[in-house]
C-alpha cells in the first residue's frame, strides 16, 4: 500500500499516475490513456437501459469504486453524486476477518483511483463517502435515477441496503448484480449462503430471489432487463451470471 502511494506521489504525468494506481474499472481518459481495470464494463453500457439523455436529472451511483458508471451517467447529462465507503474497513467483513483488518490496519483508501479519473476527466461528479446502509434523503436528497452495480453480493444485509436505496430514489432504479442460474427454479425463492469469507461474497441468489429483494424493499414495476456474464482480467474466464433489473419508485 505504502509503495503504491509513494509511486502515485512521484508520478510526473497522468500516464505515470494511472500506471501507479490500481484499477477496478477500465476507464478511457484523455490522451488515449485507458486504465487497466480488473473489469471492462464498456461493452455492457448499451445493455443497461439508461436513458440516452439525462439532462436536468439527478443521478446516484451507489458503490462507485473508480467511478466508471458515475462518469457514464454524467456523460448523459445527469448531475451525479457517487457514494462508496471511505475505507475498506467499512466493508461487511465476517467477524474473524474484521478483527484482522482492524488490528493490522489493513484498510484501503477506496476512493484514490476515483479521484485520479475524476480529475483527468474534468468531471463534476461529487463523491460522498457513505455506506449504502447510511443513505439518507435528508442528507443527499432524492434522485431521479439510482444505479447500484455488483454491490449486494458483497453485503451481509442486502435487503436493508435496498431499503436505504429505495429511500433516496424518486423515480428509477437500475440494479446490476449477481445471481446463480443453477439454483433458479421458476416460482422458487432460493439463495445460497456463502458467508463472506471468499472475496467478501455473502450471497448467491436465484434470479427470482434477486428480483424479490427489489420488490420487498418497496420498489414497483420490477423488470429483469437482461442477463450477462462478465469476466475479470485475472481469473474466472467466463465470469459470474449477473442480471440488470429495472424498477420504479413513486
Is residue 149 part of the contact set for ligand SAM (CB under 6 A)?
yes
Backbone angles phi, psi at 143, to 5 degrees: -125, 140
3-state DSSP call for residue 47?
helix
DSSP 16-75: HHHHHS--SB--EEGGGEE---SB--GGGGGGS---S--TT-EEEEES-TT-HHHHHHHH
Q: Is 25 within 8 Å of 41 (Cβ atoms)?
A: yes
Nearest approach, Cβ of residue 132 and ligand SAM (Å): 4
- Strand ranges (DSSP E) for the chain? 28-29, 33-34, 58-62, 79-84, 126-129, 143-149, 169-178, 191-193, 203-205, 220-230, 240-248
Q: Which listed range, 46-54, 60-68, 162-170, 187-195, lies at the site for ligand SAM (CB under 6 A)? A: 60-68
Is residue 135 part of the contact set for ligand SAM (CB under 6 A)?
no
Choose, by CB under 6 A, the member of 27, 140, 151, 191 that binds ligand SAM.
151
Q: What are 242's three cell numbers?
A: 449477473
Is residue 65 part of the contact set for ligand SAM (CB under 6 A)?
yes
Site size toward ligand SAM (CB under 6 A) is: 17
Nearest approach, Cβ of residue 38 and ligand SAM (Å): 9
Q: Which listed range, 2-10, 45-53, 130-138, 202-210, lies at the site for ligand SAM (CB under 6 A)? A: 130-138
Q: What are 33's three cell numbers?
A: 490513456
Is residue 82 part of the contact set for ligand SAM (CB under 6 A)?
no
Choose, by CB under 6 A, the member of 154, 164, 172, 242 that binds ligand SAM.
154
Strand order in 58-62's β-sheet?
126-129, 79-84, 58-62, 143-149, 169-178, 240-248, 220-230
Is residue 84 part of the contact set for ligand SAM (CB under 6 A)?
yes
Choose, by CB under 6 A, the member of 23, 50, 71, 91 that binds ligand SAM.
91
Which of 147/219 has CB closer to ligand SAM? Answer: 147
- The residue number with the shortest CB distance to ligand SAM is 149
Return residues touching ligand SAM (CB under 6 A).
Answer: 41, 63, 65, 68-69, 84-85, 90-91, 110, 131-133, 149-151, 154
Amino acid at each position: 500500500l505504502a509503495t503504491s502511494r509513494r509511486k502515485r506521489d512521484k508520478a510526473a504525468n497522468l500516464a505515470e499516475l494511472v500506471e501507479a494506481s490500481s484499477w477496478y474499472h477500465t476507464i478511457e481518459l484523455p490522451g488515449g490513456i485507458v486504465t487497466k481495470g480488473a473489469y471492462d464494463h464498456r461493452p455492457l453500457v448499451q445493455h443497461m437501459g439508461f436513458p440516452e439523455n439525462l439532462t436536468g436529472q439527478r443521478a446516484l451511483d451507489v458503490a462507485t469504486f473508480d467511478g466508471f458508471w458515475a462518469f457514464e451517467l454524467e456523460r448523459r447529462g445527469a448531475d451525479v453524486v457517487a457514494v462508496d465507503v471511505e475505507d475498506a474497513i467499512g466493508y461487511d467483513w465476517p467477524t474473524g476477518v474484521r478483527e484482522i483488518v482492524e488490528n493490522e490496519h489493513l484498510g484501503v483508501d477506496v476512493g484514490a483511483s476515483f479521484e485520479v479519473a475524476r480529475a483527468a476527466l474534468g468531471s463534476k461528479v461529487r463523491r460522498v463517502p457513505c455506506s449504502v446502509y447510511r443513505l439518507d434523503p435528508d442528507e443527499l436528497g432524492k434522485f431521479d435515477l439510482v444505479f447500484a452495480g455488483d454491490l449486494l453480493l458483497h453485503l451481509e444485509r442486502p435487503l436493508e441496503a435496498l431499503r436505504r436505496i429505495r429511500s433516496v430514489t424518486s423515480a428509477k432504479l437500475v440494479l446490476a448484480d449477481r445471481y446463480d442460474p443453477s439454483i433458479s427454479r421458476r416460482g422458487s425463492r432460493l439463495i445460497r449462503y456463502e458467508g463472506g469469507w471468499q472475496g467478501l461474497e455473502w450471497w448467491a441468489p436465484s434470479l427470482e430471489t434477486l428480483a424479490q429483494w427489489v420488490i420487498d424493499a418497496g420498489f414497483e414495476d420490477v423488470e429483469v432487463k437482461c442477463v450477462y456474464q462478465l469476466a475479470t482480467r485475472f481469473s474466472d474466464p467466463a465470469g459470474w451470471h449477473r442480471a440488470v433489473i429495472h424498477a420504479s419508485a413513486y
